[in-house]
């Protein structure tokens, strides 16, 4: 199973959309730290539609608690402030894709602490960032594509995501 980690997300609609994406892909969502909204807000449920009740999600006080609970997982930190493209990584089952808050991204100290685990989505010069829910979908589906390719076309990823009828990627 892949994991999406949102550190201090601020916009309920983005988190709702990401929750819906997680349900559709069999991915677990982890919400870390202070949220900029309540999980009971109608905006998050509206964005997640009827998927929100089926969402596999956990909340954590801090990233260190999550990392301690998942010592075998690799944590990939996504930021527009680093150089290594997500295309350069061979994703594995159990990987965690970590995204920061919409207004500031991930803290510079977190990126500096483990530069080998930082990734970016390539953009043309002059662009500051891509919407959080869009960024999450881009990288998550690349990880799924890689796992699917490694297992062969038409396989089921851990009994969750059926890719029947999709030609080899």
Per-residue pLDDT of the chain (169 residues; tens, 9 = 90+): 999 999 999 998 899 899 989 999 999 999 999 998 888 767 666 655 567 778 999 999 999 999 999 999 999 999 999 999 999 999 999 999 999 999 999 999 999 999 999 999 999 988 888 999 999 999 999 999 999 887 655 544 445 555 444 334 3
CA 117/CA 155 separation, integer angstroms? 28
In degrees, rounded to 5, the angle at the alpha carbon of residue 95 between the alpha carbons of residues 158 and 66 is: 110
- Say how many CA atoms lie within 13 Å of 80 toward its Cβ: 18
Structure tokens at 103: 């207004």
Instruction: Give me the residue spans of the domains in the chain.
Output: 3-162
Closest CA to 155 of 146, 98, 22: 146
Homologous superfamily of domain range 3-162: SPOUT methyltransferase, trefoil knot domain (3.40.1280.10)
């Amino acid at each position: 199973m892949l994991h999406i980690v949102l550190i201090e997300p601020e916009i309920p609609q983005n988190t709702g959309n990401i929750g819906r994406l997680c349900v559709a892909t069999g991915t677990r969502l982890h919400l870390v730290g202070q949220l900029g909204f309540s999980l009971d807000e109608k905006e998050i449920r509206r964005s997640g539609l009827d998927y929100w009740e089926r969402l596999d999600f956990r909340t954590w006080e801090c990233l260190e608690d999550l990392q301690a609970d998942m010592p075998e997982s690799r944590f990939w930190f996504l930021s527009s402030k680093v150089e290594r493209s997500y295309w350069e990584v061979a994703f594995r089952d159990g990987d965690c894709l970590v995204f920061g808050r919409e207004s500031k991204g991930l803290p510079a100290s977190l990126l500096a602490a483990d530069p080998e685990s930082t990734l970016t989505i390539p953009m043309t010069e002059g662009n500051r960032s891509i919407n959080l829910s869009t960024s999450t979908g881009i990288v998550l589906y690349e990880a799924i594509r890689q796992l699917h390719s490694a297992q062969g076309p038409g396989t089921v990823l851990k009994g969750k995501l059926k890719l029947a009828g999709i030609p080899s990627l």
